[in-house]
Amino acid sequence: MSKITTGRVAYTNVRLLDPASGLDCTGALLTDGEVIAALGPDPAIPPGTEVIDGQGLCLAPGLVDMRVQLREPGEEHKETLKSAGEAAVAGGITTMICLPDTDPVIDEEAIVEFVARRARKIGLAKVYPYAAATRDLAGRELSEMGMLAEAGALAFTDGTHAIRDALVMRRALGYAATFDLLIVQHPEEPSLAEGGMMNEGEIASRMGLAGIPAAAEAILLDRDMRLVELTGGRYHAAHVSTADGLDVIRRAKARGLAVTCDTAPPYFMLNETAVGDYRSFAKLSPPLRSESDRLAVVAALADGTIDAVASDHAPQDQDSKRQPFAQAAFGAVGLETLLALTLDLVHGGVLDLNRALALVTAGPARILRLDAGRLAPGAPADLVLFDPDHAWTVDRDRFRSKSKNTPFDGHTVKGAVRRTVIDGRTVFQDA
């Protein structure tokens, strides 16, 4: 366990980065207990304050990861709240929002409260749950959204499954709108995606694998945009991966609809060729797409169509992944690589540092209406100190996650977390 600090702490000689306000300056930041007390080029540091020399590194708000599968309760052999918390803080993530597809499903107040209580007891990254939009994620009967929101659910989703029935989705958006709640959709038309293993196209045909057409994403998004217009609901599209899907969202935003979206690093870093020789670690949902789709995702990050980047952390054990490609489970872990992979947008000249950080801090916090992702007096002292230029090689065997399924194993990336602070406590410190 890393050193725990209490009381007043000053982080000096740092590059302060606050995407919420645009702040980018050399200076210091003072925490007092669980909150930020002051920051700026030369804030007053009271006597008796513990001083930590940041050695010119970047100090930013802790990352807010808005799409994580935690596997607890129900599949603790793949991941637990503790192992995910350890992985998160090593990656600079101070807040995680977990999907409801646990066992039992998060569709009752007691389970919402269990997840939050367990995370507080562990004392690592903060955890907020999504609750199921429909009971037991079955896509038929709506959950009790109002009561679940009062219990602490941040938004409502059927997780890795689309809400396929248009009438159910209309009712969900309308019901959520009465409480000003958010519906999060996995945008993939189920009947088109059913049985698919990877992106439909020449590579899938050559490999003899059933394909998932890119159109499956745009078709469901187009339907949902019409339902958003009909109901006045708030809607978020998760892990958008195609040019056509992004065009649908772009048009919806231009019409003033309350629509946001995120993507995940695989969809701006990799394309379908990463499947290679049936590499099951590159079997994702949605699947890795064509190079033209990848470039469209990069362009949408640059023009602001995409509001956030999430890890899409989906831990799978070896028995689930080391199978013939058709039988292998979907998903990849991503907590420990989220910052470095997002910073690739900076090193590649796509975004400046604050705009890239906004995608994993202020952006998701704004969508979910969380008091997180900003550096300001009175804000929670959730911080990450990092070296944006330190190069390292992704090694899945060194992951703190229980599961090791990453398509980025062996990739060289830039951006290393040196310290993570939650509510003023240092919870991770690089040796």
Residue type, 187: P
Count CA atoms closer than 13 A to 90's CA, side-chain side. Answer: 16
| Burial class of residue 6 (count of CB atoms within 10 Å of its CB; 0-12, 13-18, 19+) | exposed
The CA dihedral of 399, 124, 390, 68, to the nearest 10 degrees, is: 60
312 counts as catalytic:
yes
Instruction: Tell me the C-alpha distance between 203 and 272, whole Å.
Output: 8
Q: What's the Cα-to-Cα distance from 252 to each of 178, 214, 273, 359, rounded to whole Å? A: 21, 19, 31, 20
The conformation of residue 61, written as its DSSP 8-state character, comes to E
Query: How would DSSP label each residue in 218-241?
Result: HHHHHHHHHHHHHHT-EEEE-S--
Question: Which position among 18, 107, 312, 344 bears the catalytic label?
Answer: 312
Instruction: Tell me the C-alpha distance between 78 and 313, whole Å.
Output: 12
Name the H helices within 179-290: 190-193, 202-207, 215-231, 243-254, 265-269
Instruction: Tell me the C-alpha distance between 185 and 165, whole Å.
Output: 12
Q: Which residue has the tokens 């209406």?
A: 369
Instruction: Tell me the C-alpha distance between 430 and 384, whole Å.
Output: 12
SS3 of 285, please?
coil
User: Of 356, 374, 354, 376, which Cα lies nearest the Cα of 365?
Assistant: 374
Residue type, 246: L
Which pair of structure tokens corresponds to residue 221? 């998004």
Instruction: Tell me the C-alpha distance between 34 and 8, whole Å.
Output: 9
Instruction: Tell me the C-alpha distance between 424 and 10, whole Å.
Output: 10
Q: Are 309 and 359 in contact (CB under 8 A)?
A: yes
H or E stretch covering 26? strand 23-32
H or E stretch covering 422? strand 412-422
Instruction: Tell me the C-alpha distance between 308 and 3, whole Å.
Output: 31
- Give the residue numbers marked as catalytic: 312
